[in-house]
Structure 1
Amino acid sequence: METTVCLVRHGETEWNALGKLQGREDVDLTARGAEQAVLTSKYLERRTSWDVIMSSPLTRAKKTAEIISDHLHTDPVIFLDDLIERDLGIASGMSRAEIAERFPDGEIPGQEPLAFVQTRMMKTLEYATQRYSGQNIIMVSHGAAINALLSQLSDGKIGTGKMILQNACLNFVSNHDGKWSIEMYNFTNHLE
């Protein structure tokens, strides 16, 4: 039996537009971010039927998930704390260039360890596939959190340290008889 999960990064926020990294800060979607969520829902609707939508409780993910849910007419969104963004510690609100300059060794005070992010994201993925086995699941989360999961699922071939996930990108993973595979990642053609 196969379970498909589409991991969606939230739509654009003002901080994204400014090039500032956001961790646990609760930054809202821009008008463009809301439009990205609409375009995402239209693409997902054409692809297949979806059984459940889960989301991080942070506003940018929550609103993205609710827009998708409204368009797809699914049950209410399920909010899970483990889908929240990686805590970036004192680097939150900085640009990538500022972080590289201030923390050249990559050691950022207060940043959530990558292994912790991977553990909680994997736990959520496993929970979803057990609870909704054989179904199609949408999970709305965040760039660093999804990247950490993709890195774990690919044994480090993609994900954290290899790419930047775009706003409202789609990342499809499937579980067939307990084995995970990445079908597509950082897909943004639906936004063009």
Structure 2
Amino acid sequence: MEILVIRHGQSEADLLGVHEGRADFSLTALGEQQAKRMATYVASHFPPDIILTSPLKRAKSTALIIQGAVGCELLEEKDLMEFNNGVLAGLSREEAAIKYPIPPNGRPAHIPIENGESDLEFRYRAERIYHKVLFDYSNCERIAIVSHGGLISHLLKAFLRQPINNEFVFATGDTGIHLLEVKGDKRIVKFLNFIPASDTVQNSCDY
């Protein structure tokens, strides 16, 4: 099975300089262009049998554009949503730094942000959806996942069987594509963070 992991296009939050996470911003005009360019590439080179998407607007809009180019089934998966950043969602970074400053030694991995989830819960969610994909869609030759920078980073860690807590982060640009393959007991990374003919690249975890 090949797993095509795709980040959404540029969202309005990217222009506003706010914490995004669960804040449900739409794609910008540029984001739609990025998604159309990427969808054309995916349809020509790696058409999936099915698309799974986060239900947040920026991801689902991107997934719908891919579906329009490919013509396959599309399903929403709540576990593909971005980090639940609770009280930070939609706040400017300046306001958030004043109201909810990060503790001097960082927030412990098991302690959630107010009204949100902890880093451990976030990683577990990525593990859960990764294993669900392997089990529920094992009959697919290629599956596309459309999600967010933070979730994608954790999904790649799950694929690589990295420890729950580590310092590595996988950045993904707007409409960046990662191609993975599960072949028996092998886990093959074919490429990471490829952006088809992009004019604007933003490598980030969008929370």
* CA distance, structure 1, for counterparts of residue 167 and residue 3 of structure 2: 19
* Consecutive unaligned residues in structure 2, runs of 5 or more: 200-207
Aligned to 2:9: 11
Aligned residues between the structures: 187
Aligned to 2:80: 83
Superposition pairs for residues 34-183 of structure 1, below 5 Å?
A: 34-75=32-73, 77-94=74-91, 102-103=101-102, 104-107=104-107, 109-110=113-114, 111-133=116-138, 134-154=140-160, 155=162, 161-183=168-190
> What's the offset of the Cα at 1:96?
6.0
Residue 172 of structure 2 aligns to a residue whose secondary structure is coil
2:130–2:155: 8 Å Cα contact kept in structure 1?
no
Name the TM-score, length of structure 1 as normaliser: 0.84
Pick closer, same or farther for the CA change 1:90–1:121 going to 2, 3 Å: same
Tell me, what secondary structure is at the counterpart of 1:53? Answer: strand
Aligned-partner SS, 1:191 = coil
Calculate percent identity across the aligned residue pairs. Answer: 29
In structure 2, what residue type is equivalent to 1:61?
A: A
* Deviating more after overlay: 80-89 vs 170-179: 170-179
Cα contact 1:148–1:160 (8 A) shared by 2:
no
- TM superposition shift of 1:64: 0.6
Q: Which runs of 5+ in 1 are unaligned?
A: none
Tell me, yes or no, if the aligned pair for 1:100 and 1:106 is still in contact at 8 Å: no
Question: 2:131 corresponds to which letter in structure 1?
Answer: E
Q: Report if aligned partners of 1:153, 1:182 keep a CA contact under 8 Å in 2.
A: no
- Higher helix content, 1 or 2: 1
Alignment root-mean-square deviation, CA: 2.5
Query: Partner of 1:105: helix, strand, or coil?
Result: coil
**Residues of 1 paired with 2:194 and 2:21: CA distance?**
22
CA contact (8 A) 2:12 2:26 kept: yes
* Residues in 2 aligned to 1:91 and 1:189: alpha-carbon distance in whole angstroms: 32
CA displacement, residues 20-53 of structure 1 (integer Å, 9 cap, x when unaligned): 2211111111111111111111111221331000
8 Å CA contact retained: 2:173, 2:193: yes
Which whole-Å deviations, capped at 9, do the CAs of 1:107-155 have from their partners, x for residues lacking one? 2733422222222222222222233225111111111111122233332
Query: Could you list the runs of 4 or more consecutive aligned residues of structure 1 that deviate by over 4 angstroms after TM superposition?
Result: 94-101
SS in 2 for 1:174: strand
Q: Give, in whole Å, the separation in 1 of the partners of 2:117 and 2:27.
A: 24
- Cα displacement string for residues 44-84 of structure 1 (whole angstroms, at most 9, x for unaligned residues): 12213310001011111111100110111112x10011111
Larger Rg belongs to? 2
Structure 1 range deviating more: 108-117 or 48-57: 108-117
